[in-house]
Each structure stands twice: as C-alpha cells, then as structure tokens.
Structure 1
Amino acid sequence: MGSIMVTVVLVGIVILAIIVYVGILAYQQRIRRQVTALADKKASLVAIPLADEVKLVSQLSLTGQSLTQFEELQNDYADITQDRFKRIDAQLAQLKNDSRGLNLIQLRRDLAKDTLLVSQTDELVQTVQTKLAALQEVDKQHRQAVRDLEQKYQDLRKTLLAKNFAFGPSIDGLEERLGQLEDNFDTFTQLTQTGDHERASDVLGQLKADTASLEDLIKAIPPLYKDLTAVYPDQISELKSGYEQLSNEAYHFGDADIPGLIQKVADQVNGNLAALADLRPDDAKVINQRIADQIDHLYDLMQTEIDAKKPVDENLDNVARFIAHAQNQNQSLMAELDRLKQNYTLDHQELETARELSEQLRNIDGIYQRDVQNLTGQAATYSIVLAHQQQQEKDLKQIEEQQAKVLKSVAGLADEERQARETLRQFDFKLHSLRRQVENLNLPGVPQNYLDYFFVVRNEVEQLATDMDQPQIDMEQITKQLLIIQTDLDSLSERTDDLLDSAELSEELMQYANRYQASHEDLAKASQEAKKLFDEDHEYAKALETIATELDKVEPGSYKRLEDAYYQRKGREKPKHDDESQK
C-alpha cells in the first residue's frame, strides 16, 4: 500500500513538471513573437524617409524662430537614428537571447521596457515628420502669399490711379494706406525669403486684415462720393427751382421753412465730404441716409401742396352748401323746439343741444370764411385748408345726425299726447264700470281695504287728468304715470272680481246649506257666522271660506261643484289666485 502511494505521488510530480515545462516553452515562444513584432515596427520606422525630409527643409535657408525649430528637429532626428534605433536593436537582441532562459519575471519587465521605447520612438518620428512637413508647407504658403499680395497691390494701385476721380477727398488717405501696406509687404517678403516664417506669419496676419480693410474702403467710398457730388446736388438744385416756381404760383407751406431746410441739407452734404476724407465711410453712410430722408421730406412737402390744390378748389362750393344746409336745418330745429316748448316739457336738453350745434356751426363757418379769404388773397396753405375741409365734412355729418336724433325724439310728442288722453278716457271708463259692477250687486257694504285701494286708483287717474290739463305737459312723466295707473287698475279689476265672486258664491253656498241646518248643528253655526261676516262685517271672502269649509264636511266636493257651476255661468275661468287663497 505504501509503495503504491509513493508511485502515485511520483507520477503526479512528473505530470506537474511536464505542465510547467510546457507553460515555460509557450511563454518563451510568445515573448519571441512579440520581439519579432517590435523588430518589424522598428523596421517600418527606419523606412520612413526622414533623412530626405530633413535635407529638403535644410535647403530652405531658415532663420529666426523657424531655424531654431528646425535645429530642434535635427537634434530629434539624430537622437532617433543614432541612439534610439541602436538601443532598440540591442535591447531586442538581448530580449530574444534571454527568452531561452527561465527568469520569466525579468523577461516580462524587459519586454515592457522595450515596448515603451519603441512606442515613444514611434511618437517622436511622427512628430518630427509632421513638423518638417509643416515647415515646408508654411514656406510654400508664404512664398505664394508674396506672389498673391504683390499682384493684389499692383491691382489696387492701378485702380486708385485709373479712378482717382471716383474717390474725391479720400484718394490721399487711400494712397497713404496702400503705401503703408506695401512697406509692410516688403517686410513680409524679406522675412519669407530669409526663412523666418514665425515672424512672417505674424506680419502676414496683420497684412491680410489691413488689405481687406483697404479693399472695403475702395469699394464703399465711390457710391457715397457719387451721392454727395452728383445725386444730392442735382436734387438740391431741383428743390430750389421747384420751391421758387411754386412760390411764384402762390403756394405756401405753413410753418415749414423750405429754403432753410434746403440750405441745411446742402451744409450736410458739404460736411459729409470730410468724413470721406477721413476714411470713415460707415459714418458717411449714416449721414447720407439722413440727407436722403430730408430730401424726400422736402419733396413730400411740395408734392403735398400740389396734390391739395385741386381738391381744395373742388370742395369749396360743396362745403359752403353743406354748412348752409346744416345751418338751415338747425334754424328749423330751433323753431320746432320753441313751438313744442309752449305745450311740452323737454326733458333731454334738446334746446341746449340745438344751441350747442348752432355754436359748432358758427365755428365751422368762421374757419371756412377765413380759408376763403386766404385763398382769395393767395395766402393759403392748401394742405391746411384741405385738412380743414375734411374735418368740416366729418363734423357736419355728425351735426346732421344729432339734429335728426333730436328731431326724432320730439317728433312724436303730439301723438303721444293724443294716445295718453285716449288711455286716460279708458281709465276713467274702467273705473266707472268697476263701480257699477259693485253697486249692481246691492251688497250690504264694501270692505274698507277695497274702498281705500279704489280711491287710490281714482286719485291717480284724477291727478293724471290734472297734469294733462296743464299748459305745458311733461310727456315723459305722463308716460310713467300711465304705466303705474295701468298696473294699479289691473290690480283693482282683479280685486273687484274677487269681491264679487266671493259675495255671490257665499250667498249661493249659504242658501244651499239651508237644507242641512236642521240635521247638522256645526253647519248651522257656520251659516250663522258666515251670515254675520257677510251682513255686518262685509268680509265676503271670510264668509265664503267659513261656509265652504263646513259644507264640504257634510257633503264632500259640494263646494267645488258649486264653484265650477258659478264660473261656467259667468263664462270665464276661475282665477288662479282664488285657487291659492282657498288652499
């Protein structure tokens, strides 16, 4: 048993040793593959033609910062070719040789160190190559810029010489700017030719900005100068001659000082030439627009008066007729109001309104007459007169509308009076009719509350008759009284119907109840009480309620049957308020 265990342990050790050995062999093989890859990477770096690029840049005759930068790149190139490449080769050879050994930890560290060296060398090669290419490109760009700018300045010089008349007082400043640019260009050319591209770049940036500024000036100034020396002066001359002609034709312009305004524009034109001389086209453009607006305004002032003359002449007769018609209308209105005032009270300031309209017409006519005098004396400003005419037509239309409104408000007073008198006659007839109805029943008496209400309505009718017999009638107050009396009279009519219905029905029910008095003591007492209410107290509604209540106890439904028969004989429906009062 012991020998078997020993055998098993020995077999396990052998197997483990085999596994470890195989792992070491695999790791060594992996290291060799990575060494080969690093060697290939180094070979690709060697293949980059850095030497040719260094030689090309060295032929550029660089100076200044550019030369310093190139020298730094040369040092980097020397470090790459004379140091780094050799160290990489030596370390890779050593790593390849060490890969046969068993010191795996040291092998891993050396591999990481060689990998970092190759990576850093690759970055340095790329940087050197990029910067060498940049030096070649900037040299190329600067030499092309020299050619381009030289041609551009020649063209600008030709433009200033060939079209100096288009720049006016700006020409000296423009030529001075161009001279400064050419001086700066010479500096740029010299820096480019000597290879000092760092300083040349700074000069080129400013040179481009100044050149663009000069080109903008050369483009902007001619149209502004043309306006100031050709367009505006011609328009000013036209305005002067136009004003002179219009003045000779008796045109006036109100408070506007046309000659003064024209001179102000002319002064601004002359003053704006100084802005061009100072090479300030933006300021000159603003002032030019202001000048153009003022010239347009002057043209508008003159054209307004020209356009106003014809309608002013055409409107004169129409406005005169309109004023005369409105004045006649107002006189007629005043006369009518004076006539109506004798018989009626005018409650809505009709007379005051008519007087105010008369004052307005007087003011309108006064303005019109002054305008006519000014036109006759050739002292009128047509636009002002036209504005007066337009306002006068508007005011006259409003006045006529107010006149019509006032006339309409009083036109029906006589008809209203006739209608009111007819209504008063009907009220009086109705009162007598209601009184006869009550008297015809020969009742023992009439309730005091009914009599009080009857006399209230009668007094209202009498007061209405008195008010309508006055020398001056207030129809608005009369109308209010008519409405009140109509309401009160309707109420009195309802009360009269209630009184008559209660009296007649109570008599019928007391007669009908006689058949039950001997057999029903309560009904007999109710009959006696109802008779007292009827004969002595004249409380007919209470008498009806007293007898009806007891009769319905003896003969249910009898009251309803007798009541329906009563209203059927009368030929009318039972009033709803009666139903409510019986509930």
Structure 2
Amino acid sequence: MVGVLIGIVILAIVVYVGVLVYQQRIRKQVVALTTKKASMVAIPLADELKLVGQLSLTGQSLEQFQQLQADYQDITENRFKRIDQELTQLLKDSRGVNLVQLRQRLTKITLLVNQTDELVQDVQAKLASLQEVDKQHREAVRDLEKKYQDLRKTLLAKNFAFGPSIDGLEERLGQLEGNFDTFTRLTQEGDHERAADVLTQLQDDTTNLEDLIAAIPPLYKDLTVVYPDQIKELTGGFQQLSNEHYQFGDQDVPGLIHDAEEHIKDNLNTLNDLRPEDAKVVNDRIAKQIDQIYDLMQTEMDAKDPVETNLDRVAKFIAHAQNQSHSLLNELDRLSQNYTLDHQELETARELNEQLRGIDGIYQQDVQALTGKTATFSQVLEHQNQQEKELKQIEEQQADILKSVAGLADEERQARDTLQQFDFNLHSLRRQVENLNLPGIPQAYLDYFFVVRDEVAQLATDMDQPQIDMERITKQLLIIQTDLDTLQEKTDDLIDSSQLAEQLLQYANRYQTSHDNVAEASQKAENLFEKKFEYAQALETIATVLNEVEPGSYKRLEDAYYDRKGTAKPKRRLEESN
C-alpha cells in the first residue's frame, strides 16, 4: 500500500515537472513571435507607400498600388491587432495546465504571424518594383530620346550613304518617334503596365533600325562605288584584250559583265525595301561573278607566254615521237617476216601511231588558230600540257615494245645452238646403249627415247618455218631439256643395271652347285636379262640371293663397279640385308 502511494507521488511530481517545462516552452515561443511581429512593424511600409503615391500612377499600376494600400491597411489595422491579442491571451493561458488548448492556440497564432510576414514582404517587394519600373521607364525615356536624336542626325548628315533606303529609314524613325511619344505619355501618367508593353516593342524596333543604319551603307557603297568601278575596269580590260586578239572560248564575257550590272541594279531595289540581309547575299554573288570575270581574263593573259614558249618544244616532241614510231613500225614489219609477234606489238605500235596523228592534228589546229589570232590561249595551253603527257607515255610504250622484240635474233641463234646440242646428246645416248650389245632394249626406255627424239624433230621443224614463234620455241626448249635430263637418267640406269647384273651373274656361278637357291635365282635372273630385257629386275633378283649367301657381297661388287666407272654411285637400288 505504501509502495503504491509512493508511486503515485512520484508520477504526480513527473507530471508537474512536465507541465512546467511545456509552459516555459510556450512562453519562449510567445517571445519569438512577438519579436518577429516587432520586425514587421519596423518595416517602413508607410513611407514607401507615400513615395509610390507621389508617382501619379494610373491604369493598371494605380490599381496595383491601391491593392497594396488595402493590404497595408489590413496589416496595420487588423492583423497586427489580432496578433497582439492572440499573443497576450496565449501568454496568459500558459499559466494553466490545459496543454491541448495551449498547443492549438500556439499553432493558430504561428500561422497568423507567418502569413502576415509573407504579406508584408510581398507589399514591400511590389512597392519597390513600382518604384524601380518608374525609374527604369524614366531612364528609358531619356535614353531613347537621345538615341532618336542621334539616329536622326546620322540620317540627315549621311543621307548620301543610304541611297534609296533613306526614305524608308526616315519613315521607320518617324514611326518610332510616334511610339516613343506614346511611351513617354504613359510613363508620365504612371501607367507603367501599359508603358512596359510599349517599351518592349519600342526597344526591338529601335534595335532593328540601328541594325539597318549600320548594315546599309557598306552594302550601298559596294553597289554604287566598288562594283561599278570594277565593272568599268572589266569592260575596259575586255576591250583592250579583244584589241590584242585574246579569245575566251565559249565564255561570253560581255554577257557576264551585263549580268553583273543587272544584279547590281536589282539589288539597289532590295536595299530600297530595307532588306539588307537579302542584299548581302546578292552582293556576295555579285562579288563572285566579278571575280570569275577577272579570273577568266587573267587566265588567258597568264596562258599566252607559256603557249608561245611551248610551241617549238611540243613540235619537236611530236616530230621525235613520229620518227620513233616510223622506225618502230619498220623494225616490227621486218621482224614479222621471220618471227611471230605474240603480244600484239605491231597492232599496239600502229595504235600509238594513230594516237600521234591525232595529237599532231590538234597541234596543227592550234597553230592555225594562233596564226589567225582566233586561239583561246588557255585551251591551247591545256592541249599542250595534255600532249606532252601523252607523248611521254607513247615514247615509253614504244621503248617497251622495241625492248621486247630486240633480242629475237639472238634468241633464235641460241635456240639453234641448243637444238644442235640436243641432237648431239640424243645420238650420244643412242650410241652408249648400242655399245652395250644387249640382247634387247626395254620397251619403256624405247618409248621414252622416241618421244624425246620426236620432240627434237618437231623443234627442228618449227625452227625451219618461214615465220618462227620464238615464245613457243622457248617453251619447247625448256620441255626438251627436262625430258633429255630424264632420258639421261634412264640411260644411266639401263647401263648400270645391265652391267651390274652381268657381273653378279658371273659371280654367282661359284655358288650354283653348292646352293640351290642361288642356282634357281641365277636361272630366273638370266631369263629376265636375256628374254624379257628387265635388267633392273634381274639385278635385284640375283643381288638379293647373293646377299643371303654372302652378306655384303652386292655392296662390295657395286662399289668396285662405280670405282672403275669413275662416277658417283646413285641411290642404292637394293636395300642391303644383314
């Protein structure tokens, strides 16, 4: 029971302390809100209203000012009083213990103070804005008035620099001054809302007029001074060049000059319409037209001296190439009597000769035009440059053709010497085989021998033709040489096989009575040798059995054979067994 009482006492103390703390907090909030309200009161809205009221506002500006006055009256007569009342009551209630009521009152008065502060700030800002707008508009009146004075002075003092644009510019300036008067009146009356709308358009139009006044004079100067002087110079220059018999091909220089003059006239109308941007585009085109005409004249003047300098050199170049062509055609015609020209050398040489005719034809036409003073120098110079390029290519091709056929006679002599050597080698191989006195010659060897013999015979026939195809002859020489080398290898193999087979058969006689396998192999080898003429197979048959009876005997006899012969031993025909 005592413990419960103690708990109740402690809880009561805690609650009491909590209430005291919350009451203290409320009083601090009251102080803070009182201070914030005092800072609002300190703002000199009344003085600012008085200053703005002296501006003689009208229209929407006056309506805005009147609304600000109403807001100020609401702030001072209603809101501040209510704030004071609420704060006083809240401070009084903070001594009680109704915490919920205190919280609600605090929320209400805080919202009222914050809303009032926002309204005070808004009124102050709008009053400042009205003063600033009034200041700006009055400054704009002074600035624009001075600017229009300066613009009018410029138009009056330099009206010659604007040409046909002057009337339009003065009309624009008059319209601006009329709008400026409206702006000035609205500013003086204090109707700044409407004045602001007029000012925006007025500033844009003024900037446009200033841009026109700045842009037109240089364009007008080009159209009335610069370009006409250049047209005059071009006209005189063309007349002088014509008197000196300059030609311009298909370019109508007087027509080009006339077109430029017409564009100048048309563009003056563009300036009269106050369209400098369009006039600038056309001026650029006129400048390019004039430059092109200058370039045409300069090109012909620059081409004259090189043309006259090149005449003799090109003539000599053509003559030299023609002489080369004549010599080359004669040489090819002579060679074609004895040789087949497989790479269209003659046809190519004739095409080059026709190309030379064309080059010379153009050259002669240019000479006649120059003599008759009807030549366009730039075209002649272009012809000369192209002619020198083509003549160089022609002479290079002529040299290549001559080089390709120059060695035909030497190739023929070498081919005949080689043919003679082939024939000698073929007869030599035949004698070597005949000297063996063999019972017969293997058919495969004979077939190959006759093939090579026929190749040599065909080569001789081809060499005896009235017109020799040296390219074909060269290919035949390579083939026959390869086949002769192979025939030489077959002949050596035939000789070595037959000679070694005979020696091994004689050597095997010592074993025939004592070894039946030797007797049998000897009989078989002799049959291969005498009847079938298979000398390599006969050698292999007898060598194999001798190695079985007397290991190493074949190698010893073979080495002795090649030592006597005095030639290197070829690849072994038989793998020696142990």
Task: Pick the TM interval, shorter chain.
Answer: over 0.9
TM-superposed CA distance for 1:515, in Å, is 2.8
Counterpart in the other structure of 2:121 = 126
Matches within 5 A, 1:61-210: 61-210=56-205
Q: Which amino acid aligns with 1:123?
A: E
Q: Tell me if structure 2 keeps the 8 A contact 1:502–1:540.
A: yes
Counterpart in the other structure of 1:221 = 216
Counterpart in the other structure of 2:537 = 542
Counterpart in the other structure of 1:361 = 356
In structure 1, how many angstroms separate the alpha carbons of the residues matched to 2:343 and 2:272?
A: 76
Secondary structure of the corresponding residue to residue 246 of structure 2: coil
In structure 1, how many angstroms separate the alpha carbons of the residues matched to 2:86 and 2:62?
A: 34
Matches within 5 A, 1:113-512: 113-512=108-507
Q: Which amino acid aligns with 2:483?
A: D
TM-superposed CA distance for 1:386, in Å, is 1.1
CA-to-aligned-CA distance 1:373-392 (integer Å, 9 cap, x gap): 11111111111111111111
In structure 1, how many angstroms separate the alpha carbons of the residues matched to 2:230 and 2:80?
A: 84
Q: Which amino acid aligns with 1:424?
A: L
Task: Work out the percentage of aligned pairs sharing the same amino acid.
Answer: 76
TM-superposed CA distance for 1:577, in Å, is 8.4
Counterpart in the other structure of 1:41 = 36
TM-superposed CA distance for 1:340, in Å, is 1.1
Q: Tell me if structure 2 keeps the 8 A contact 1:498–1:578.
A: no
In structure 1, how many angstroms separate the alpha carbons of the residues matched to 2:470 and 2:49?
A: 122
Q: Which moved more, 1:323-332 or 1:572-581?
A: 572-581
Q: What CA RMSD, in Å, does the superposition of the two structures yield over aligned residues?
A: 1.6
CA-to-aligned-CA distance 1:534-565 (integer Å, 9 cap, x gap): 11100011112212222222233433343344
TM-superposed CA distance for 1:580, in Å, is 9.3
Length-normalised TM-score, structure 2: 0.97
In structure 1, how many angstroms separate the alpha carbons of the residues matched to 2:575 and 2:193?
A: 117
Q: Tell me if structure 1 keeps the 8 A contact 2:555–2:576.
A: no
Q: Which amino acid aligns with 1:107?
A: L
Q: Name the CA shift for 1:201/1:564 in 2 (closer, same or farther; >3 Å).
A: farther
Q: Name the CA shift for 1:112/1:494 in 2 (closer, same or farther; >3 Å).
A: same
Counterpart in the other structure of 1:3 = none
In structure 2, how many angstroms separate the alpha carbons of the residues matched to 1:580 and 1:494?
A: 20
Q: Tell me if structure 1 keeps the 8 A contact 2:30–2:90.
A: yes
TM-superposed CA distance for 1:368, in Å, is 1.2
Secondary structure of the corresponding residue to residue 518 of structure 1: coil
Q: Which amino acid aligns with 2:496?
A: D
In structure 2, how many angstroms separate the alpha carbons of the residues matched to 1:121 and 1:565?
A: 139
Q: Name the CA shift for 1:196/1:324 in 2 (closer, same or farther; >3 Å).
A: same
TM-superposed CA distance for 1:566, in Å, is 3.3
The answer as to 2:4 corresponding to 1:9 is yes
Q: Name the CA shift for 1:36/1:481 in 2 (closer, same or farther; >3 Å).
A: same
In structure 1, how many angstroms separate the alpha carbons of the residues matched to 2:282 and 2:432?
A: 101
Q: Name the CA shift for 1:196/1:445 in 2 (closer, same or farther; >3 Å).
A: same
Q: Name the CA shift for 1:571/1:57 in 2 (closer, same or farther; >3 Å).
A: farther
Q: Name the CA shift for 1:267/1:227 in 2 (closer, same or farther; >3 Å).
A: same
TM-superposed CA distance for 1:576, in Å, is 4.3
In structure 1, how many angstroms separate the alpha carbons of the residues matched to 2:576 and 2:372?
A: 90
CA-to-aligned-CA distance 1:17-51 (integer Å, 9 cap, x gap): 11111111111111111111111111111111111
TM-superposed CA distance for 1:150, in Å, is 0.5
Q: Which moved more, 1:456-465 or 1:65-74?
A: 65-74
TM-superposed CA distance for 1:520, in Å, is 2.4
TM-superposed CA distance for 1:581, in Å, is 13
Q: Tell me if structure 1 keeps the 8 A contact 2:552–2:576.
A: no
Q: Name the CA shift for 1:520/1:218 in 2 (closer, same or farther; >3 Å).
A: same
Q: Tell me if structure 1 keeps the 8 A contact 2:72–2:123.
A: yes
Secondary structure of the corresponding residue to residue 342 of structure 1: helix
Secondary structure of the corresponding residue to residue 531 of structure 2: helix
TM-superposed CA distance for 1:245, in Å, is 0.8
Q: Name the CA shift for 1:446/1:384 in 2 (closer, same or farther; >3 Å).
A: same
Q: Which amino acid aligns with 1:351?
A: L
Q: Tell me if structure 2 keeps the 8 A contact 1:191–1:199.
A: yes
Secondary structure of the corresponding residue to residue 537 of structure 1: coil
TM-superposed CA distance for 1:402, in Å, is 1.2
Secondary structure of the corresponding residue to residue 468 of structure 2: coil
Secondary structure of the corresponding residue to residue 100 of structure 1: coil
TM-superposed CA distance for 1:574, in Å, is 3.6
CA-to-aligned-CA distance 1:129-169 (integer Å, 9 cap, x gap): 11111111111111111101110010000000000000000
In structure 1, how many angstroms separate the alpha carbons of the residues matched to 2:431 and 2:229?
A: 105
TM-superposed CA distance for 1:252, in Å, is 0.8
Q: Tell me if structure 1 keeps the 8 A contact 2:540–2:574.
A: no
In structure 1, how many angstroms separate the alpha carbons of the residues matched to 2:141 and 2:112?
A: 43
TM-superposed CA distance for 1:326, in Å, is 1.0
Q: Name the CA shift for 1:574/1:142 in 2 (closer, same or farther; >3 Å).
A: farther
CA-to-aligned-CA distance 1:31-89 (integer Å, 9 cap, x gap): 11111111111111111111111111111111111111111111111111111111111
Length-normalised TM-score, structure 1: 0.96
Secondary structure of the corresponding residue to residue 338 of structure 2: coil
Q: Tell me if structure 1 keeps the 8 A contact 2:317–2:391.
A: yes
In structure 1, how many angstroms separate the alpha carbons of the residues matched to 2:480 and 2:307?
A: 61
Counterpart in the other structure of 1:563 = 558
Secondary structure of the corresponding residue to residue 260 of structure 1: helix
Q: Tell me if structure 2 keeps the 8 A contact 1:434–1:493.
A: yes
Counterpart in the other structure of 2:528 = 533
CA-to-aligned-CA distance 1:251-292 (integer Å, 9 cap, x gap): 111111111111111111111100000001111111111111
CA-to-aligned-CA distance 1:333-387 (integer Å, 9 cap, x gap): 1111121122111111121112112211111111111111111111111111111
In structure 2, how many angstroms separate the alpha carbons of the residues matched to 1:568 and 1:121?
A: 137
CA-to-aligned-CA distance 1:380-433 (integer Å, 9 cap, x gap): 111111111111111111111111111111110000001101111111111112
Counterpart in the other structure of 2:515 = 520
What are structure 2's unaligned runs of at least 5 residues? none
Q: Name the CA shift for 1:581/1:556 in 2 (closer, same or farther; >3 Å).
A: closer
Q: Name the CA shift for 1:78/1:562 in 2 (closer, same or farther; >3 Å).
A: farther
Q: Tell me if structure 2 keeps the 8 A contact 1:217–1:279.
A: yes
TM-superposed CA distance for 1:578, in Å, is 4.7
Q: Which amino acid aligns with 2:184?
A: T
In structure 2, how many angstroms separate the alpha carbons of the residues matched to 1:107 and 1:367?
A: 117
Q: Which amino acid aligns with 1:252?
A: Q
Q: Name the CA shift for 1:137/1:576 in 2 (closer, same or farther; >3 Å).
A: farther
TM-superposed CA distance for 1:465, in Å, is 0.9
In structure 2, how many angstroms separate the alpha carbons of the residues matched to 1:226 and 1:581?
A: 114
Q: Tell me if structure 1 keeps the 8 A contact 2:247–2:374.
A: yes
In structure 2, how many angstroms separate the alpha carbons of the residues matched to 1:125 and 1:565?
A: 138
